[in-house]
Structure 1
Amino acid sequence: MDPTLDDLVRKLDLETKLRLISGAGAWTTQACEEIGLRPVSVSDGPVGVRGPIEDERDWSATMPSSSALAATWDEELLHRVGALLAAEAVRKDVDVALGPTVNLHRSPLGGRHFECFSEDPLLTGRMAAAYVRGLQDNGVGACPKHFVANDAETDRTSVDIRVDERTLRELYLAPFDHLVTEAGPWTVMAAYNGVDGAPMTESPLLREVLKDEWGWDGLVVSDWGAVYGTEESASAALDLAMPGPSEHWGEPLLAAVREGRVPEAAIDDKVRSLLRLAARVGALDGHPAAAGRPSPGTVEQGAALAREAATAAMVLVRNDGDLLPLANDNLSRVALLGPGALEARPLGGGSATVFPPYVASPLEGLRSALGDRVELVTAPGASLSDDLRTPRARELSQPGTLRWLDATGACLKEEPTEGTHFVRDLKSVEEGSVSLELRTVFTADTTGDWQLGVSGVGAFVLDLDGETVVDTHIVRDPLDIGSVVGAAPQEHITRRLTEGQKVDVRLRFTWGQDIMLFWVGLVVGEPRLPADQQLARAVELAAASDVAVVVVGTTEAVESEGFDRRTLRLPGDQDALVHAVAAANPRTVVVVNSGAPVEMPWRDEVAALLLAWFPGMELGNALADVLLGAVEPGGRLPTTWPARDEDVPVWNTTPRDGVLEYTEGLHIGHRAYLREGTEPAYWFGHGLGYTTWEYESFDVPAHVRPGEDLTVTVRVRNSGERHGKEVVQVYAARPDSAVERPELWLAGFAVAKAGPGETVDVPVRIAARALQHWSVTGHQWQTESGAFLLSAGRSACRPLLTDETVVSE
């Protein structure tokens, strides 16, 4: 504790204190020259750093989604990702990055599943801690979120989560506990939801557990708009209300303090926490920053690490006949099929959205890697959805013109633009403007019925060749993140165009005064063959090729903040496409481009199945690296993939009468499958590489004292013909326990790398906590004396070596 912070707090009057604990806007805190305090800037993440402004031109190096990063099981890599994002934060003058997201994969239906690491609290905590250290070792604050139990999106601002004390401790609080202890994040975000009757911004858990029990001295910030009242939130250990100024923490809080309903000492605590954060990030005069900052990030640095991380995350779950890696020398024709071949998805929707400097498509990646010697043919084969897309660069005259207009229609500013989709914070648009006007020329690259339209919320007029074809006002709740920054509504017309025909486009958009930002633009849809003809064309290409690669997946309309999924089925006709292509070519590889599990009814029909997640901006290049064997797919599943919708053990993400009951208790993910005796499609921890491994020995201490860590050693041998990576997983079980437990649970893991024929001894640390349980009578962690069975293996259901250790004095 720094006593000088107390001196600074004493210099401030009550009104100034209250001003400081409420934000200055969407992305900054208040300044106070009197004490040398500048604003602290925060930004959304966690796969990039969007920065303090909303502007599609302000690119962000885009890493793989958190579910992908967790699939690496590689803490060193996560630390480097955090360090790179710190450099991105420096480039954008950001002090605190709002991430990582450390809620659990309680159900695969959770809308932000892609934004969370894992179904397992240990894996989640360790990945999150490495990420946080990477940021903060480089002078940028991390803000783990959302404390706590924000594991679904339905009615998230009002839902009350009911979870028993032991489950809350052992599952949902556990990753926060780990990263607070191991990484010391400078901030933590309190969630929208409630837990056991109290909204998290008013919850006693903030003080009693986070600050007092864990001894954490950071700042608690509300999720944006999650302060619902005055006295309750101010009396809790919530330190900063965002965005600001907060309607609940202004005059109402001033009156509450003066009338004695909220003690001024509580306000002093909040200000002290804010000043401590400011000191750590170098925003408080006289206080050196906690760590030096790196040079601003570059596209090249981002590209290299994004590519490495994406390949390390890809999980090969099936490789019949060792089809992968593809032997380039034996290929003459490759069919790249599926709606994701040209328009693959790099990241999920919602506040995690950033603007990549580019996205390498699978077509671009494979074309570059294969060169001219191999013919690469492509067809979508199926429609993923009816949504239109942003025009491609080759379809536009470059540059177009963007004009900012006032209420009379007069032009205030004109500028060239290479894009047709615009994201702006209203504070950053041309002063006095109420509308924007895009003028460009669209060129059809094929003959047929084209769709041309608009996307966004507000008033639109679309003229084609001087004719008004769309004149509409699209209304949607501007606070609905899913529609505003994810799957925005669209309206369009259909027009017959011939190949090479040019169309003069004028799009005028007028925003309302009740919004803070807009995401709008021109959208198009190319002519589509009837579904049966699309499918037939893809099958024809597959049958006449050496190998067929089919890219299927989801979009931001399926996986996003703001809503939960209702099914795991792939959208559109993608399942039918895979069935048909697999029947036409036994050498079929399917690539799944999704952030969360999807149903794969064809999985036993294809030769190879690669889960690519939402892999970031280097999607296509990383995919080519893995398919052609330049790099081994390094991922192992961080979450269990169900076989069918009806097999999902935890389905309920929808509250009933405002309450969501976590009736499954400790049994989520692989724990639930083991308890119920149900076989998923693929188990937690599963993943294949391009070599093979033998587990030769397992050295387990025979005895350990209660509360002590232990280290086990697993000897593994690379029995294959190329260098490879293995994730050695150690699980614990207590078959005769006096308390309810999962059949087994992850106790430790380590990454091993070895060349052909090489044997390595892999130490795996088992923390004392891994063998403890939370006592609901003693309200503390306890260790049950007796024998624990430890298993080393490659997934949650494939123990290869077992031994036991006895816990006793």
Structure 2
Amino acid sequence: MFSTKIGLTLAFLSLYGLSHSKSLITSDTYFYGWSEPVYPSPNGTGSGDWAAAYNKATALVSQMTLEEKNNLTYGVTVTSNGCAGNIAAITRLNFPGLCLQGSGNGVHETDFVNSYPSGLHIGASWNKSLAHDSGWHMAGEFRKKGVQVALGPVVAPIGRTTTSGRIWEGSASDPYLSGAVAASTVQGMQGQGVISSVKHFVGYEQELYRNPTTNPDNETVESISSNIDDKTMHELYLWPFQDALKAGAGNIMCSYNRVNNSYACQNSKTLNGLLKTELGFNGFVVTDWGGQHSGVGAALAGLDMAMATGKSYWGNDFTKAIKNGSVPISRLDDMATRIIATWYRMGQDESSYPAPGVGITHNISMPHDIVNALTADAKPVLFDGAVEGHVLVKNLDNALPLQSPRLISVFGYDAVAPPQYIPNSKLFRDPWEIGLEPAVFQLAAAAEIASIIDEPYDYQVAFNGTLPVGGGSGASAGPYLSAPLDALQQRAYEDSSAVMWDTSSSPSMLGVMQASDACLVFINAFATEGVDRSGANDDYSDELVKKVASTCANTIVVIHNAGLRFVEQFVDNPNVTAIVFAHLPGQDSGRAIVSLLYGDSNFSGKLPYTVGKNESDYPAFFHDYAVKPYKLFPQSDFTEGMLIDYRHFDAYGITPRYEFGFGLSYTTFAFSDLKISPVKYGIAAYPSGAVEQGGAVDLWDSVATVTATVKNSGSKAGAEVAQLYVGIPGGPVKQLRGFDKVHIAAGKSTKVAFHLTRRDLSSWNVITQKWELQSGSYKIYVGSSSRDLPLITTMKIVTDSGS
């Protein structure tokens, strides 16, 4: 480590938007906390399918005055709509302005839109087609509401900090799965002409210290610095962003945190170097709301747009900076061109595109100004998405599906609908202070429970009703909410059976429990933006499960979890016959779980993270408090490198409770006939192709194809996720490098094929600063989870190292 004096010098430079040089560091023995300067900011090239949009944008920007160009780069406050961010119109040039609005699972803070399954729920589906279709339908609603930039999907946080409050917005604790889901979502969203804003770039892995704060001495404490080495940056944190860019993403949102001691929204290495040069990004970079910390420094480092407003750093002062030469006019021209080119590329200049913010109202004001964005064709996608993200992890003696039960009993605070549901109420403006959308009275209910169990409320549980979505700017609310108990009562009506319930804090229906065919216990694990979780289980919910299981011999636990949830306190209880990780299904939550419990639908979800047994199983379970010796400049050293989640479990021989990729079905599957196509011989070790958006074009060349046969060996139709892992020489034990979800009739078989690209098989070489395909033996594993891989072989690659 280097001295406190040097550390403070580096942090001082970061305050003023300057990346610092390695020459300042006298001893950098495996310390990550410096960010090399990369200047100037490269102009967008308009490469590939961006060419036509760039030609139009260049022509339009050339007609703009200095002030008009400047006005494109920062948000303005308006009273005409409720958009999260607005770019002013340039009326004389027929540019209508832009409306930017969250979120990644539905249009935020408005009415007559759907609440889609969250990112984590889609990740648990392992279904790229579903991710695409959810993105497409969701973006159709953004479009009807007059939104040009939809703030999603999320790929960071990726899950390095296990209890991060925003993990549920992303899809997986693995870069390959996260990137595949993000790419499909981007393609779906932008197929509707809506710009997708992929966020948060980069290393945003905790909520604590995500923004500057003031300490008791009235001193400013800067945001946490995510200190990441070059290899880990490329192979883990940058990976899913690259997939999204390859899919055509038009916008990248930079994050609140610092990266190697330079703020992410003014970090020249990550923005100018990685994003705009190495990955050839042609779109524009926007800050997270309030994430700008300098004017000239941010512009030179590659920031293109500031939200929600930029007047404090840009505004009139920015035109002065252009005029006095502090910022070259070419940088402003590039900022404006990138923004306008993205607008053109999505066809938003067409007259059919609604006016910015036309359907985003400030307050609910029925019925005269509602823009109804609901369509019947979205319903199957909403339901299928809700179903497929459920993961069955325990099913003792085929407790599920329920077989014509005469009586079921229901327990738990998570079974019922919240007492108030008003999607566009003023109560939704600051959800991280209120607790949860749409259950807006969470804190009051939590205080009541806390008084009962004599413990303070710690943001682990949403006690006030079922949890369809997490809290914060990523939350959404649909036209209705199907709660589990409501759907179970409907099923009882249809089956002429009985359902009884006690969702009080201390259920006492002992006789009913004993007489029930099944006892369903609904609990949850809550998470919200702005607050990291204090753990991954709560004693109150665990005691509730154990109390029911002490009397009911067939206790089925359903957990709506916004992230990892431990089950150690009840998993081995023989009366707990089934456990479901239900994640965050959106508005069709109740209908989906009932369809699964009764066997109308089959479980097909797989865990997109590893469920361990103890906090110590994870390299970074809690957020980082590392503020000493830099008390005003918090540091988080990512010393575990690439070894997060299952990679960490593999490296240290830790046995998980449920591994990454695991999930049960009502049928069984068998794998056989593993084959590898002839591998290209003498392929160049390094890519040499032209750089287009997404990186060097030959990174995506196919090197080999792996095939296998999957058979449904059970008696029910079902879907299996065939997973391929690769052991790259010198890397983690294995890394996910392919998956395919296939629906197979009982007794039938199908062939799956995985096309491995140069990028899939390469490692980042920190010396050459290129992806390197090594000569050597690569282990190939195929199966149903990261620990159930019955098919194993070795693939030999020979490269031309002189290329």
The verdict on a shared fold, with TM-score over 0.5 as the criterion, is: yes
1:373 matched to 2:425: no
Cα distance change of structure 1 residues 285 and 753 upon mapping to structure 2, 3 Å threshold: closer
Note the C-alpha offset of 1:774.
Answer: 0.4
Contact kept, 8 Å, 2:164 with 2:622, in 1: the verdict is: no
Cα distance per residue 1:7-45 (max 9 Å; x no partner): 322222222221221112342211112322111112111
Note the C-alpha offset of 1:643.
Answer: 1.6
Note the C-alpha offset of 1:613.
Answer: 0.4
Note the C-alpha offset of 1:222.
Answer: 0.9
Counterpart selection for 2:518 from 510, 522, 547: 547
1:633 matched to 2:606: no
1:35 is matched with 93
Secondary structure of 1:216's match?
A: coil
Note the C-alpha offset of 1:97.
Answer: 0.7
Return the index of the structure with the highest Cα Rg: 1
2:120 is matched with 67
The CA distance in 2 between the partners of 1:666 and 1:649, in whole Å, is 11
Letter matched to residue 31 of structure 1:
A
Structure 1 length as normaliser, TM-score?
A: 0.76
The CA distance in 1 between the partners of 2:378 and 2:251, in whole Å, is 25
Secondary structure of 1:76's match?
A: helix
Cα distance change of structure 1 residues 218 and 546 upon mapping to structure 2, 3 Å threshold: same
The CA distance in 2 between the partners of 1:208 and 1:287, in whole Å, is 37
Letter matched to residue 476 of structure 2:
V
Note the C-alpha offset of 1:296.
Answer: 6.8
Note the C-alpha offset of 1:250.
Answer: 1.3
Letter matched to residue 543 of structure 1:
Q
Counterpart selection for 2:66 from 14, 21, 26: 14
1:350 matched to 2:472: yes
1:589 matched to 2:563: no
- Output aligned runs, 1:425-504, within 5 Å: none
1:311 matched to 2:387: yes
Contact kept, 8 Å, 1:538 with 1:581, in 2: the verdict is: no
The CA distance in 1 between the partners of 2:396 and 2:119, in whole Å, is 28
Note the C-alpha offset of 1:154.
Answer: 1.0
Cα distance change of structure 1 residues 538 and 680 upon mapping to structure 2, 3 Å threshold: farther
Counterpart selection for 1:755 from 721, 745, 759: 745
Cα distance per residue 1:278-335 (max 9 Å; x no partner): 223444479999xxxxx9742644443222111111100111111111112xx11101
Cα distance change of structure 1 residues 364 and 302 upon mapping to structure 2, 3 Å threshold: farther
Cα distance per residue 1:169-221 (max 9 Å; x no partner): 0000000111211x111111111111112111111221222122222211111
Q: Structure 2: state its 5+ residue gaps.
A: 1-50, 78-83, 212-222, 355-370, 417-464, 628-633, 685-701
The CA distance in 2 between the partners of 1:210 and 1:360, in whole Å, is 42
1:252 matched to 2:317: yes
Identical columns (%): 30
1:189 is matched with 253
1:731 is matched with 725
1:359 matched to 2:481: yes
1:128 matched to 2:182: yes
Contact kept, 8 Å, 2:162 with 2:622, in 1: the verdict is: no
Counterpart selection for 1:563 from 523, 531, 535: 531
Secondary structure of 2:146's match?
A: coil
The CA distance in 2 between the partners of 1:218 and 1:300, in whole Å, is 33
Secondary structure of 1:350's match?
A: coil
Contact kept, 8 Å, 1:539 with 1:580, in 2: the verdict is: no
- Output aligned runs, 1:188-337, within 5 Å: 188-204=252-268, 205-284=270-349, 297-298=373-374, 300-328=376-404, 331-337=405-411
1:94 matched to 2:147: yes
Secondary structure of 1:145's match?
A: strand
Cα distance per residue 1:700-730 (max 9 Å; x no partner): 2363444643211111111111111000001
Letter matched to residue 749 of structure 1:
F
RMSD: 1.9
1:651 matched to 2:655: no
The CA distance in 2 between the partners of 1:667 and 1:730, in whole Å, is 18
Counterpart selection for 1:580 from 547, 563, 566: 547
2:365 is matched with none
Contact kept, 8 Å, 1:702 with 1:806, in 2: the verdict is: no
The CA distance in 1 between the partners of 2:132 and 2:203, in whole Å, is 25
Structure 1 stretch displaced more, 660-669 or 256-265: 256-265
Contact kept, 8 Å, 2:193 with 2:348, in 1: the verdict is: no
Letter matched to residue 176 of structure 2:
L
Contact kept, 8 Å, 2:112 with 2:373, in 1: the verdict is: no
1:24 matched to 2:69: no
The CA distance in 2 between the partners of 1:11 and 1:779, in whole Å, is 40
1:3 matched to 2:55: yes
Note the C-alpha offset of 1:160.
Answer: 1.1
Contact kept, 8 Å, 1:95 with 1:141, in 2: the verdict is: yes
Contact kept, 8 Å, 2:152 with 2:198, in 1: the verdict is: yes
1:44 matched to 2:166: no
The CA distance in 2 between the partners of 1:360 and 1:299, in whole Å, is 18
Note the C-alpha offset of 1:81.
Answer: 0.2
Secondary structure of 2:120's match?
A: helix
The CA distance in 2 between the partners of 1:255 and 1:353, in whole Å, is 39
Contact kept, 8 Å, 2:679 with 2:703, in 1: the verdict is: no
1:341 matched to 2:439: no
The CA distance in 1 between the partners of 2:171 and 2:227, in whole Å, is 22
Contact kept, 8 Å, 2:100 with 2:151, in 1: the verdict is: yes
1:460 is matched with none
The CA distance in 1 between the partners of 2:103 and 2:171, in whole Å, is 14
Cα distance change of structure 1 residues 286 and 341 upon mapping to structure 2, 3 Å threshold: closer
1:422 is matched with none
Contact kept, 8 Å, 1:599 with 1:645, in 2: the verdict is: no
Counterpart selection for 1:608 from 562, 571, 578: 578
The CA distance in 2 between the partners of 1:541 and 1:310, in whole Å, is 30
Structure 1 stretch displaced more, 559-568 or 249-258: 249-258
Contact kept, 8 Å, 1:160 with 1:193, in 2: the verdict is: yes
Note the C-alpha offset of 1:277.
Answer: 2.1
Letter matched to residue 533 of structure 2:
R
Higher strand share: 1
Secondary structure of 1:334's match?
A: strand
Structure 1 stretch displaced more, 164-173 or 776-785: 776-785
Letter matched to residue 517 of structure 2:
D
The CA distance in 1 between the partners of 2:56 and 2:479, in whole Å, is 43
The CA distance in 2 between the partners of 1:4 and 1:94, in whole Å, is 21
The CA distance in 1 between the partners of 2:467 and 2:756, in whole Å, is 37
Letter matched to residue 565 of structure 1:
R
Structure 1 stretch displaced more, 582-591 or 774-783: 582-591
The CA distance in 2 between the partners of 1:143 and 1:689, in whole Å, is 35
Secondary structure of 1:93's match?
A: coil
Secondary structure of 1:602's match?
A: coil
2:712 is matched with 718
Contact kept, 8 Å, 1:160 with 1:659, in 2: the verdict is: yes
Secondary structure of 1:791's match?
A: strand
Cα distance change of structure 1 residues 717 and 39 upon mapping to structure 2, 3 Å threshold: same
Note the C-alpha offset of 1:130.
Answer: 0.5
Note the C-alpha offset of 1:381.
Answer: 5.3
Secondary structure of 2:386's match?
A: helix
Secondary structure of 1:327's match?
A: coil
- Output aligned runs, 1:124-163, within 5 Å: 124-157=178-211, 158-163=223-228
Secondary structure of 1:100's match?
A: coil
Cα distance change of structure 1 residues 598 and 540 upon mapping to structure 2, 3 Å threshold: farther
The CA distance in 2 between the partners of 1:222 and 1:675, in whole Å, is 36
The CA distance in 2 between the partners of 1:353 and 1:59, in whole Å, is 15
Letter matched to residue 541 of structure 1:
V
